[in-house]
Each structure stands twice: as C-alpha cells, then as structure tokens.
Amino acid sequence: MDLGLAECICLITGSTGGIGLETANLLRAEGATVVTTGRSGGDVKADLSEAGEPERVVEETLERHGRLDVLVNNVGYSEIRKLEDVTDDIWQASFEINLMSAVRATRAALPEMRERGAGTIVNVSSTAAKRPSTGMPDYSVMKAALLSFSRLVADLYAKDGIRCNAVTPGPTATGAWLGEGGLADQQGERDEVLAKVGAGRPLGRLAQPEEIAAVIAFLCSPRASYVTGAAWSADGGTVPIIV
C-alpha cells in the first residue's frame, strides 16, 4: 500500500539502530527523504540529551531541505533499577533523554510546520507509560509524561494542520534488550529472561523492530490523516484497553 510519503522530509531521532533505523528504512522505501541522528553517527551526529542539540538537529534539517514534514521522536534509554535506587541525578538524566529531547525537538519544529499549515509528529513512548514497569521506574514516568505531551501538542496545534500521535511499544528485539549488558542481561540469564518476557505477552513473543516501524510509518503518513492525539499500543496485547 502506498502510504503517500514520497518526497516528504522526515527527521527521526535515535535512528542509528533498532526501531528508529527500521523506521528510517521503511520511510525511505516509501520514497521519503529521511534525516537520521544518533550519538554515534547518522546524517546529523548529536547527543539529544543535551540542551540545544535537538534544536540544532531540527535547524540543520531545515537548512538542508527547506522544510520538515514529519518528526519522529524516538530516542530513549533505560536501565533496570529499583525505585529506591533512582537518585536525583538518574531522574534528571532520564528526564533529559526520554522527555526533554522530544519537547525540544518539537518546539524547534513547530514554527516552520505552523507557517506551512502542515506537519506530523510521532512520539515513541512505551507500554510502560500505560502500566509502569517496576524495574524501569524513571523510564516509565518519563514515557507517561511523553504521552501527556503528545496529547497536549495534538490539542494545541490541530488548528494549524499539525497532527501528533504516540506509539507505545512493548519489549522489542533490539540491542536495548538483546545486546551485551542490555535489559535482558541486567535481569539474569539472557535466554531465560527473554523467554519469560516473551511469554508475558498474549502473542507470546517480543516485537520485531520492523513491526513497530510499520505502525510509526502509518501514523506519519497521509493515510492517518484523521488520527491525532492517539496513543497506539504495539505491545502484543500486553496492556488492556481501559474503557
């Protein structure tokens, strides 16, 4: 299905691996021009946990391409911790990367989008935002705040032709979970942890990054033109719908 993304200019944060990279590949396959970014490289190298860096990435995208049609705020980070072990410094670091990176990039992108009267923003949150993970307390809180921010942007700027939605993935088979020292290793023997985590989903497995990317790509596209202010679960049925 043609998503109607040909010739769109898209910026994806945290896109040198995992869900972000899969999303970049999918949008490019749809004919979009994609700007990738990450600490280790991408089209624009940046540490988005630092104030000023999200703004710089947006500004460089606008300088290179003249406009920004789609912003995907995907960058994020978590470690397994007990709530009582989360220090003030850890809370602050989580705040900067998991929430403020999206706030700053969005704030930088909005003026140009409003001037054109069009734009799409997708924030990659987490199933932990809807039902907090006891092993990732700071991450859960920041990703919940990101859902609130997404709804706020959707409400404020719909009149300007801007849509804003969120995606809430469950555990996904990326380096964050599968890599050496990653979330699985932090909880015990890797294969046993991954088997247990997978069994905890109604679908019985972790997501593949391309499955999450497909949801993001749809929300980025004109095919989702009547969707805004939503938080789309892509978690294998983990968190039930609350009516």
Concatenated DSSP letters of 34-67: EEEEETTEESEE--TTSTTHHHHHHHHHHHHHS-
> Is residue 130 located within the same domain as residue 192?
no
Q: What is the pLDDT along the chain (243 residues), one digit of tens a residue?
A: 799 999 999 999 999 999 999 999 999 999 999 999 999 889 999 999 999 999 999 999 999 999 999 999 999 999 999 999 999 999 999 999 999 999 999 999 999 999 999 999 999 999 999 999 999 999 999 999 999 999 999 999 999 999 999 999 999 988 888 888 888 889 888 888 888 888 888 888 998 999 999 999 999 999 999 999 999 999 888 876 553
Nearest C-alpha neighbor of 8 from the set 68, 95, 78 = 68
Q: Quote the pLDDT of residue 241.
A: 55
Q: Are 37 and 74 within one domain?
A: yes
- Is 77 a catalytic site residue? no
Q: Is there a domain that residue 219 lies in?
A: yes
Nearest CA to 128 among 18, 210, 238, 243? 238
Q: Rounded distance, CA 56 to CA 42, Å?
A: 14
Instruction: State the pLDDT at residue 71.
Output: 98
Positive or negative torsion for Cα 182, 54, 9, 110: positive
* Domain-located, residue 186: yes
49 with 83, same domain: the answer is yes
* Predicted local distance difference test score (pLDDT) of residue 133: 93
Same domain, 19 and 47: yes
For the chain, what is the domain count?
2
DSSP classification of residue 160: G
Q: What is the span of the domain harbouring residue 195?
A: 180-206
CATH number at residue 27: 3.40.50.720
Return the pLDDT at 197: 85
pTM of the model: 0.94
Q: Are 73 and 106 in contact (CB under 8 A)?
A: yes
Choice among 77, 139, 157, 226 that is catalytic: 139
Asked if residue 240 is part of any domain, the answer here is: no
